[in-house]
Structure 1
Amino acid sequence: MADSSNNNDIFPVTVHRYPGTRKPCAFEHTTTTASPSPPPTGGAQAQTQAPRNALVFIGGLGDGPPAAVPYARAIAAKLAAAGGGSTYSLFEARLSTAFTAFGYGSLAQDVAELAALVAYLRASLKKERVVLLGHSTGCQDCLAYAAASGSDGSGGVVGDVDGFILQGPVSDREAVAMDVSAADLARSAECAAAMIARGGKDDAMPRDLLPEGFRAAPVTAYRWFSLVGVGGDDDFFSSDLPDDKVAAIWGGLRQPVLIAPSAEDEFVAGHIDVPQLVDKWKKACAPGIASDLSGLIPGANHSVDSPDAQEWLADRVVRFLAALG
């Protein structure tokens, strides 16, 4: 249990319930310099001007709001200080795949729920700009959202957003390969593929075929292959992706993107040249899409725990958002 005497453990949020098949919600970080977005109908109105734009944070595997990762609050504070807090506020999406539920979800499910949140922010809260910020697997959600934007899916339209921020984009396939042998990884991926082929995509993987860190909750054959199979639906950031796949992923982006990997990410194998990989991704984007502010976060681990690294990231985020106009 957190020590209630530590003020760092106490922070205000406003919970927004918005329409969706799984009764989703989002947590808006509030500060002393900016009021939360007023409710769409009825209720007390904000005493001061609510931020007119929204930055939506999407956590990675096992994360869940509020404050899924420490730097979310650092960014919220930086946004509040910039322009008197009237420009952007930070919302954390509480997807149905949060915490241990990622094992029986999908990127498509996340995209549908994010689309409902974007629609709520636009229509009910009248936000002028909406930007998605993904951490870790949340980066996959961002790129999946970009690919689906504008198309009908799961009974609704995936509305456009105004930009994307990718923090800690890593390959789950390559990260898992750091902890298990190549033979064991191949065996588990082959088992998942076989289960899918015989109609068992939603069946749970045998626990003994999963790495220790994935055994706390069920993981379906579909989601496991999506994460660790070559060409799986989550396979956006592997260093061995063919050039045509890289071009298809990054060349399809229509909104500006800030790419911010962690310089000391413990989930990236030592043989992977991350600066070179980021340069490849940027070059695959159409002109003007990849932000010049993109770069590795100095001294940062995967979740950017260092205060100095958080400050560096928050500064880049604020500058990127300001450049959107």
Structure 2
Amino acid sequence: MANTNTSTTFPVTVHEYPSAQPGRFVHAYEHGVSSTTPATNALVFIGGLGDGPHGVPYVRTIARTIAHEAGLDFSVFEVRLSSSFSGWGYGSLAQDVKEIGRFVGYLRATMGKKKVVLMGHSTGCQDCLEYLDTGKYVAAAPGVDGVILQGPVSDREAMGLGVGAEEVERCAGFARAMVLEGRGEEIVPRGMVEDVLGDTPVSAYRLWSLAAVGGDDDYFSSDLPDDRVTAIWGRLRQPVLIVPSANDEFVPKEVDVDALVRKWMSYCRPPAVVSELSGLIPGANHRVDDATSQGWLAERVVRFLAGLD
């Protein structure tokens, strides 16, 4: 396993661009230092709940691998969303999509990037697929040229591993009642959720979204009905790489992840193409801490990017 207790330094280039609020700016981080010949294309990494820029170590492995790949004209970016780190409890997929869309717009219009690919980790995978719902986000989400989904897991099922499905359902029901009362933006009492989600303050809406069957975040549960699976995967129009972790501690043991991925793939329709490079990352836990597993993932990402038209 990678040693997570050592200190390290690494260079990034900070990009400041306008936020949705007049006079305010937000920041994204490009791996490596500024170059007189910047890359033509961009890979944008989006982490999961509790993550933020530089919080997932394998991103640096991918950036280094891309930098050493002759002819692969991509650079790697991490964007700080309002939902980053502990902000996820107040967030939503819709808000994430709008903020990601502003950054994609910056990459296209200001930096002149030709290809933009989104890469999600964990709940960031929900952001990626939500972003591709063009019927919902026509103006807010400029087009992208591909999507990589690493560690797509069901938050609802993952919560149940710790406290049981009944407790998750109880929390979801409590949150739904608050939402129906018009109190969706209020913070749920800590005693209701600390066993399920820890000590991060979470709104009633976000708790419902994550914990409820059919919640807005319910993208990857193994028990999703076929019509929901069709709605998610049948609308894709971009190349997709799906790379779950083989030893993901947040996936129930009874879930056959390989079969689930094949099911998702079966619902895609042209022009969407699920890459043949898709597959479970050998030896990988949820965050892909193992160095060998990170190398496998980086090699698949490089090959996927190189194959984009």
TM (normalized to structure 2)?
Answer: 0.94
Superposition pairs of residues 162-201 of structure 1, within 5 angstroms:
162-201=145-184
Which residue is equivalent to 1:40?
none
- Give the corresponding residue for 1:227: 210
Compared CA separation, residues 165 and 103, structure 1 to 2 (3 A): same
- Structure 2 alignment gaps of length 5 or more: 1-5
Cα-Cα RMSD? 1.5
Counterpart residue number, 2:31: 29
Cα distance in structure 1, aligned partners of 2:286 and 2:292: 14
1:56 to 44, 53, 68: 44
Residue 56 of structure 2: aligned partner: 69
Alignment pair present for 1:132 and 2:115 = no
1:13 aligns to what? Answer: 12
Alignment of 1:14-163 (within 5 A): 14-21=13-20, 23-30=25-32, 36=34, 46-47=35-36, 49-65=37-53, 67-83=54-70, 87-148=73-134, 151-152=137-138, 156-163=139-146
1:90-143: per-residue Cα shift (whole Å, max 9, x none)? Answer: 000110100001000100000000000000000111101000000000000000
User: Are residues 1:319 and 2:306 paired?
Assistant: no
Which secondary structure state, in structure 2, belongs to the residue aligned with residue 309 of structure 1?
helix
Provide, for residues 139-174 of structure 1, a one-character-per-residue CA deviation record: whole Å limited to 9, x for no partner: 00000000137844xxx4311000000000000000
Letter in 2 for 1:13: V
Given the alignment, which residue of 241, 251, 273 partners 1:289? 273
Please report how far the alpha carbon of residue 233 of structure 1 lies from its aligned counterpart in structure 2 after TM superposition: 0.4
More displaced 10-residue stretch of structure 1: 183-192 or 263-272: 183-192
Mapped to 2, the partners of 1:149 and 1:94 lie a distance apart of: 25
Q: Distance in 2 between matches of 1:213 and 1:316?
A: 34
Partner of 1:18, secondary structure, is strand
Pairwise CA distance, 1:279:
0.2
Q: 1:254 aligns with which of 224, 228, 237?
A: 237
Count of matched residue pairs:
300
Q: Does 1:217 align with 2:200?
A: yes
Q: Which runs of 5+ in 1 are unaligned?
A: 1-5, 37-45
Determine the C-alpha separation between the residues in 2 that align with 1:111 and 1:225: 19
Deviations 1:151-198 (Å, cap 9, x if unpaired)?
Answer: 44xxx4311000000000000000000011333222111100000000
What TM-score comes out, normalization by structure 1 length?
Answer: 0.89
Alpha-carbon distance between aligned partners in 2 of 1:192 and 1:150, rounded to the nearest angstrom: 24
On the 8 A contact 2:17/2:27 being kept in 1, the answer is yes
| 1:77, distance to aligned residue in structure 2 (A) | 0.2
Distance 1:26 1:51 in 2: 16
2:150–2:242 contact (8 Å) kept in structure 1: yes
Q: In the TM superposition, what whole-angstrom CA distance separates every residue of 1:208-259 from its partner, at most 9, and x where no partner exists?
A: 1214362322100000010010000000000000011101100100011000
Q: Matches of 2:150 and 2:210 in 1, distance apart? A: 18
- Looking at structure 1, the residues matched to 307 and 87 of structure 2 have their Cα atoms a distance apart, in angstroms, of 36
What per-residue deviation string (whole Å, max 9, x for no partner) do you get for residues 271-324 of structure 1?
000000000001111145111110000000000000100000000000000110
**3-state DSSP class of the match of 2:176?**
helix
Counterpart of 2:3 in structure 1 is none
Q: Secondary structure at the match of 1:218?
A: coil
Percent sequence identity is 55
Distance in 1 (CA, whole Å) between partners of 2:167 and 2:196 is: 14
Conserved 8 A contact 2:93-2:127: yes
